Amino acid sequence: MTLSRRLALLVVVLLLLVFLGTFFTSVRNTRDYLEAQLESHAQDAATSLGLSISTFLAQGDQATVDSMSDAIFDRGYYRMLTVENADGKSIKKLELPIAVDGIPSWFISAFPLETPVGEASVMSGWTQAGRVLIQSHPGYAYIQLWGNAKDTALWFLVSALFILLLGMVLLRWLLRPLRRIEWQADSICNREFPVLDDLPRTPDLRRIMEAMNRMTVKVQRMISELESLAGRLRRQAYQHPVTGLDNKRRFMDVVTDRIESDEDFMQGAFCLVQLKSFKEYNDRMGYQAGDDLLCQVAHDLQKVTMDVPKHTLAHLAGADFGLLVEDCSLDESKDLCRQVSAVLSNVYGTGRPESPDVAHVGAAYFDGRQSLKQLFSEADMALRSAQSHEANSWHLTAPDDLDRRVIRGASEWRLLIEEALEQDRITLLYQPVVTCPQRNLMHREVLVRIPDPDSGELVSAGVFLPVAESVGLATRIDKAVVAKVIGVLMEEQDADIMFAINLSPQSLVDDGFTGWLERKLSQHANIAGRLVFEFPEYGVTAHLSELKALIERVGRFGTMFSLDHFGHSFSSLAYLRSLKVHYLKIDGSYLRTLEENGDHQFFIQALTDIAHGLDIRVIAESVESETVWELLPSLHLDGVQGYYIGRPE
């Protein structure tokens, strides 16, 4: 067998292995999802039928029970339906044989679908009058599973055939270096996608290696798309299944992280929203009507918070919603409560609630000093107070003695920040970011402080930066910090020292900032490669084109870029493919309770694997304990930052 044919056979085997792995993963994930749907489908039908026939079964109206059971079963979505009386005797039983046409028997054997039985009690007052048992029919699920498997196989095989044909043409001129190409092919099987940079000068060999690089990119795209699909299914663990908002567990993780982070969150509003008499409405109107009402409320709350840059909105449970708004003043918190109350009262106009008294809002203002327990208690007391007043009322509690730094007005803050800029009184602190698990220094993150004229203490950026953004001073602060860090690097003898600088989203949309930064770095091109510019994810997703332009103009100096607080929102990861950032910093809400939360571990590892495929390094922030640190190497993280590693100094 010729050398080119042997290499072609190797490529076929490798692609086949990748195909089998991705095929079985995709089909298995789809099967798990369909089984969950079958279980939910059977349980919902059993519950609905049980509620519908409760009165007739108690009265002995067998004809009505039969007709209602037949009406549900005749739709053809069920394999078995049984109605039993209080003695456990079957009074109505319907069965439909399993017949799945067009599906190969080997496929059914390889991927069997479990069809759990949904069970619901039929009540007559406080007495159980009987029981309903329903089992979903797996036929439609098998059809959908088989269709997904065929589409996946066809899509992959067509792409693989194209790649194979291209590779066979170019491999005919292959002379060397076979070891590097073999290493690249083996790396593809290991879900790594290296690109060979050192190309030979011989034209024939250069074309072969360039073709392998293109093949690597194509295979990477196919596999990463399947991984993204699996990742989206896993992220459902963080969202409420009815409204699509963050669920309670995700909300608690975010609130806990923000309260424990002095650098990022020093003031804000914590709101609890509760629908009135929702349980009675749900029982009277049915679960579907209740879900529709919850979705309407969620939609209206999202409209209120649409223009709020840093917020977390969650559906906690049943009739309860939670909202955390960061970096807002006491007056802004009151305005927010008014808007929420107003939009909830308008829900009555949709015709869903039967009473104009729809919901109440209880809010607690956070000034940087309350614990999580205190904040929840204050919000809960405010909610009870609102419920004791008129319809759709709201109540906001605030500490009696607010910190002087928090209650300064916008004009006073403007003067204070402008004085610090003009008099060069901005102070820089540095927090180390180290490699994982070697604990070697990667770079230092720059943290900004200004002195408080009353106490003389340094005020963190979490206090004054939100005000600076609201009064249009954020870009001036960014310029001052960049200039000071460049000055530090010019005096630094160690050429390996790097600094990461947080920039405001306002600087992205400032017409003159990109040009200023480009000129500044061109003047100091010898140290530009030792700078990393960080932008928060919440500010980047709305200004992707501006960030791409900034990276294109400034990245030519060797400067690197990072996305901070990544993963806070449920935005798609697709934009990372075109955004040439070098680092991702995972939001601290995933790290605080990492050792107790398997979903967080899975999300971080999946995100890290996808990022590595895109040549992006991943850093965990807010690492505060040894137990979390010891867990991180198994998640393939590149770097770590937090008080456990080192405090700002």
Instruction: List the beta bridge partners of residue 130.
Output: 85, 122
DSSP 357-377: --EEEEEEEE-S---HHHHHH
Radius of gyration over every alpha carbon of the chain, rounded to an integer in angstroms:
30
Q: How many CB atoms lie within 10 A of CB 203?
A: 9
Return the number of other C-beta atoms located less than 10 Å from residue 616's C-beta. Answer: 21
Are 391 and 428 contained in the same domain? no
Q: What is the pLDDT of residue 231?
A: 53
583 within a domain of the structure (yes/no): yes
In whole angstroms, what is the distance from residue 569 CA to residue 590 CA?
12
Indicate the residue type of 278.
Answer: F
Residue 635 · residue 604 · CB < 8 Å: yes
- Going by their DSSP bridges, the two strands 639-640 and 617-620 should be labelled as parallel
Q: Could you tell me which residues come within 8 angstroms of residue 405 by beta carbon, excluding any fewer than 6 positions away?
A: 266, 452, 459, 463, 464
Instruction: Kindly report the CATH number assigned to the domain that includes residue 264.
Output: 3.30.70.270
Per DSSP, 261 falls in state -
Domain-terminating residue out of 403, 438, 462: 403
If asked whether residues 18 and 147 sit together in one domain, one would say yes
Q: Are residues 282 and 363 in the same domain?
A: yes
Alpha-carbon distance 552 to 228, whole Å? 26
The pLDDT assigned to 81 comes to 87
Same domain, 355 and 502: no
CA–CA gap between residue 564 and residue 468 (Å, rounded): 19
Dmax (CA) for the chain in angstroms is 92
Residue 509 tokens read as 């949309």
Regarding whether 397 and 304 lie in a shared domain, the answer is yes
Residue 442 lies in a domain: yes
pLDDT of residue 105: 77
Q: What are 417-465's pLDDT values in tens digits?
A: 888 889 888 999 999 999 999 999 999 999 999 988 777 788 888 778 8
146, part of any domain:
yes
What's the structural domain count of the chain? 3
Contact 100, 37 (CB under 8 A): no
Shared domain for 297 and 377, answered yes or no, is yes
Answer yes or no: are the C-beta atoms of 213 and 195 closer than 8 Å. Answer: yes
- 171 and 130 share one domain: yes
Residue 645 belongs to some domain of the structure: no
Residue 354: C-alpha distances to residues 276, 277, 315, 350, 575 (Å): 11, 10, 22, 10, 44
Rounded Cα gap, residues 516 and 518, in angstroms: 5
CA–CA separation, 204 vs 305, rounded Å?
Answer: 58
How many alpha carbons lie under 13 Å from residue 347 in its C-beta half-sphere? 29
pLDDT at 583: 93
189 assigned to some structural domain: yes
Task: Please report whether residue 278 resides in a domain.
Answer: yes
Say which residues have a Cβ less than 8 Å from residue 492's Cβ, sequence separation at least 6.
none
Paired sense of beta strands 320-326 and 268-275, if any: antiparallel
Judgement on whether residues 325 and 437 belong to the same structural domain of the protein: no
β strands within 265-357, DSSP E: 268-275, 311-317, 320-326
Question: How many angstroms separate the CA atoms of 322 and 371, rounded?
Answer: 17
pLDDT of residue 217: 78
Tokens of 534: 């960080």
Residues 192 and 117 in one domain: yes
Task: Please check whether residue 224 lies inside any domain of the structure.
Answer: yes
Other beta carbons within 10 angstroms of residue 145's beta carbon come to 22
Q: Is the peptide bond before 451 cis (omega within 30 degrees of 0)?
A: no
Residue whose token pair is 């070098």: 582
Upstream peptide bond of 116 is cis (omega within 30 degrees of 0):
no
Distance, first Cα to last Cα, the chain? 66
Please identify, among 355, 386, 403, the residue that sits at the C-terminal boundary of a domain.
Answer: 403
Q: In which domain, by residue range, is 299 found? A: 248-403
Same domain flag for 426 and 367: no
In order of 52, 278, 544, the CA distances from 283 in angstroms are 12, 9, 46
Residues 439 and 385 in one domain: no
Q: Which two tokens stand for residue 589?
A: 């809400």
Query: Domain holding 580: CATH number?
Result: 3.20.20.450
Residues in Cβ contact with 176 at an 8 Å cutoff, skipping those fewer than 6 apart: 200, 205
Confidence (pTM) = 0.60
Q: What is the DSSP-derived secondary structure letter of residue 116?
A: P
* Upper half-sphere CA count for residue 580 (Cβ side, 13 Å): 13
Residue 626, domain member (yes or no):
yes
Distance CA 538, CA 535 (A): 9
Query: In whole angstroms, how far apart are CA 37 and each of 30, 99, 137, 268, 550?
Result: 11, 19, 11, 40, 46
CB 591 within 8 A of CB 628: yes
Helix H, strand E, coil C: the string for 565-606 is EECCCCCCCHHHHCCCCCEEEECHHHCCCHHHCHHHHHHHHH
Instruction: Look at residues 403, 436, 461 and tell me which one is the last residue of a structural domain.
Output: 403
Query: Does 131 lie in the same domain as 37?
Result: yes
Cα separation, 506 vs 474, in Å, equals 7
The pLDDT of residue 372: 85
The Cα angle at residue 376 between residues 371 and 380, in degrees rounded to 5:
150
Point out the residues of the chain with pLDDT beneath 70.
1-8, 76, 99, 167-179, 186-192, 200, 202, 204-205, 219, 222-235, 262, 351-352, 400-410, 569-574, 577
